[in-house]
Amino acid sequence: MSFQNGNILIVDDNKSILSTLEILLSPEFREVTAISNPNQIPSELRKKGYDVVLLDMNFSAGINTGNEGIYWLERIKEIAPEISVVMITAYGDIDLAVKALKAGASDFILKPWDNEKILATVRLAIQLNLSKKEVKQLRERETVLKKEINRDQKYIIGSSPQILNVLGLARKVAKTDANILITGENGTGKEIIAQEIHRLSNRAGELLVTVDMGALSETLFESELFGHVKGAFTDAKDNRQGKFEVADKGTLFLDEIGNLPLHLQPKLLSAIENRQISRIGSNTVISTNIRLISATNRNLESMVRDGLFREDLLYRINTIQIVLPPLRERGNDISILAEFFLKKYSYRYNKTNLRINQQAHEKMLRYQWPGNIRELQHTIEKAVILCETSVIKPDDLFFRHPGITSNRTVNTIDEMTKQMMLEALEKNDGNFTAAASQLGITRQTLYNKLRKPG
């Protein structure tokens, strides 16, 4: 921010002083507002983002104690602690000026004043305001950074052609700033791919900030993404950066974006298109520079046709689409992942001599893993905990959906597909649209496949 970009508020009951200061400061700063009634201060501060307030010490005729100025100084600091307040006081009232400094004022000017000195004082006050904002933003980013650093480190494991194709595409688009949509069933590792794209990108030195749109309530949507100012709503006890601000110069990952209600989608679209946001309760526009990655387990094209997702938002987030294969299509990656989780949990539960026998591996290969990698991870962890010997056998593996496994190998892709579709229809009480969305296909595709003989 240069000096000329400051917003100045002048508060003095002497209208000739207001006019003089307004004429002096207007050519030097972006916007200068003058008010004579201090009772307007709270509404004025909430209306606009000010950098400096020039505040008179006395407002009532015949009263020169300075208590009114101290009172309004304290109110300003309650509403907007980062604003620099410069007190205006009469020559000789140095004790009052010192009292104001102790109460939080950044400086004072004496009547009658020297024009150059006033300009220098206001410029320094704007610099102080900027420094406070930068420190506050750094602290907020530090809080988020600690959370991100403390997240579990996750790895991309596997050598199947399906996962290698995904990784190849991810590496190809990582160096660009293109918006990416990652799709796939629950538990396929969408967040891990987002982390890999960020790690390989030109923004790797900045934050990857994750927002779980599925866990975000409608009332907190704007506050979480765009932030808020103190007093914007009942529980807004402090100013708060939104995730768009925190992710500035880095990557913003919106997980489960298909869960975003239709009436909130225009607000997200506007922030993405304009690269600007405003905190709740503030009219100040904040520019953002983010790389957007979104993910969903839902069929957004089907949702567009059903009027549940905006087509323009889909185009905006979907410059490049990466489709993650379900675990059941990744062949021997199931065994590779099982061995990885075995090492992890054997170490955690102090059972380092455990191994998985061939029959248990075969049982896992026959299972369809509707919960994908996440379900496999939980299955191995449970087996490690409950196993009473040094070998994990088929009987030690407990599947969440035992009806989906079989005593024989599934012989054809069609047979597997039919079984999945029937399971999805049963789970959704015969609702074709809901079942198709769960499967990641269109309603018509589901209908056509089930019309085939058998």
Last residue of a domain, one of 117, 133, 149: 133
Residue-level pLDDT at 348: 92
Residue 49 CB coordination number (10 Å): 19
Q: Which domain holds residue 33?
A: 3-133
400 and 423 inside one domain: no
Burial class (CB in 10 A: 0-12, 13-18, 19+), 299: buried
Same-domain check for residues 129 and 233: no
Buried b (16+ CB within 10 A) or exposed e, 231-241: bbeeebeebbb
Residue 226: give its domain's CATH number.
3.40.50.300
Claim to verify: residue 176 and residue 305 sit in the same structural domain: yes
Q: What is the pLDDT of residues 163-195, one digit of tens each?
A: 999 999 999 999 999 999 999 999 999 999 999
Same domain, 255 and 269: yes
Q: Is the pLDDT of residue 118 over 90?
A: no
What's the confidence (pLDDT) of residue 62? 59
What's the CATH code of the domain at 440?
Answer: 1.10.10
Residue 437 lies in a domain: yes
Q: Where are the beta strands (DSSP E) in 2-136?
A: 7-11, 31-35, 52-56, 84-90, 107-111
Residue 101 above 70 pLDDT?
yes
Residues 319 and 172 placed together within one structural domain of the fold: yes
Please report the pLDDT score of residue 3 as a whole number: 45
Q: Answer yes or no: is 276 within a domain.
A: yes
In the predicted model, is pLDDT for residue 99 greater than 90?
Answer: no
Per the prediction, the chain carries an average pLDDT of 85
When comparing pLDDT for 423 and 313, which is higher? 313
> Shortest CA distance to 105 belongs to which of 88, 90, 118, 93?
88
Domain check: are 399 and 258 in the same one? no
| pLDDT for 83 | 87
pLDDT at 408: 38
Q: Which residue has better confidence, 71 or 150?
A: 71
What DSSP element (H or E) covers 134? Answer: helix 115-149
Same domain as 228, residue 176: yes
Same domain, 8 and 125: yes
For residue 80, CA distances in Å to 42, 125, 131, 227 come to 10, 15, 15, 15
440: left (phi over 0), alpha (psi -120 to 50) or beta: left
The number of distinct structural domains making up the chain is 4
Q: What is the pLDDT of residue 4?
A: 59
Residue 149 has pLDDT above 80, yes or no: no
Q: For residue 291, what are the β-bridge partners?
A: 251
- The conformation of residue 280, written as its DSSP 8-state character, comes to B
pLDDT bracket for residue 109 (50, 70, 90): confident
Domain of 68: which CATH number?
3.40.50.2300
More confident residue, 169 or 415: 169
Q: Is residue 141 part of a domain?
A: no
Q: What is the pLDDT of residues 315-336, one digit of tens each?
A: 999 999 999 999 999 999 999 9
Q: Is residue 154 part of a domain?
A: no
CATH of residue 360: 1.10.8.60
Q: Is residue 144 part of a domain?
A: no
| pLDDT higher than 60, residue 399 | yes
Contacts of 257 (CB under 8 A, 6+ apart): 181, 213, 294, 295, 296, 317
Q: Residue 98 has what pLDDT? A: 81
Calculate mean pLDDT across residues 230-257: 88
Q: What is the mean pLDDT of residues 353-364?
A: 95
Residue that finishes a domain, picked among 323, 346, 381: 323
Q: Which of 25-39, 328-342, 345-359, 407-421 shows the lowest per-residue confidence on average (mean pLDDT)?
A: 407-421
80 domain-assigned: yes
Length of the chain, in residues: 454
Share of the chain above pLDDT 90, in %: 52
301 and 443 share one domain: no
Domain end call among 267, 299, 323: 323
Cβ–Cβ < 8 Å for 324, 183: yes
- Look at residue 314 and tell me whether its pLDDT is greater than 90: yes
Q: What is the pLDDT of residue 151?
A: 54
Q: Does residue 152 lie within any of the structural domains?
A: no
Q: Is residue 143 part of a domain?
A: no
Residue 356's SS3 state is strand
Residues 391 and 435 reside in one and the same domain: no
304 and 211 together in one domain? yes
The reported pLDDT for the residue numbered 145 is 59
One domain, residues 388 and 436: no
pLDDT digits (tens, 9 = 90+) for 51-90: 899 998 888 765 667 788 889 999 998 888 888 999 888 7
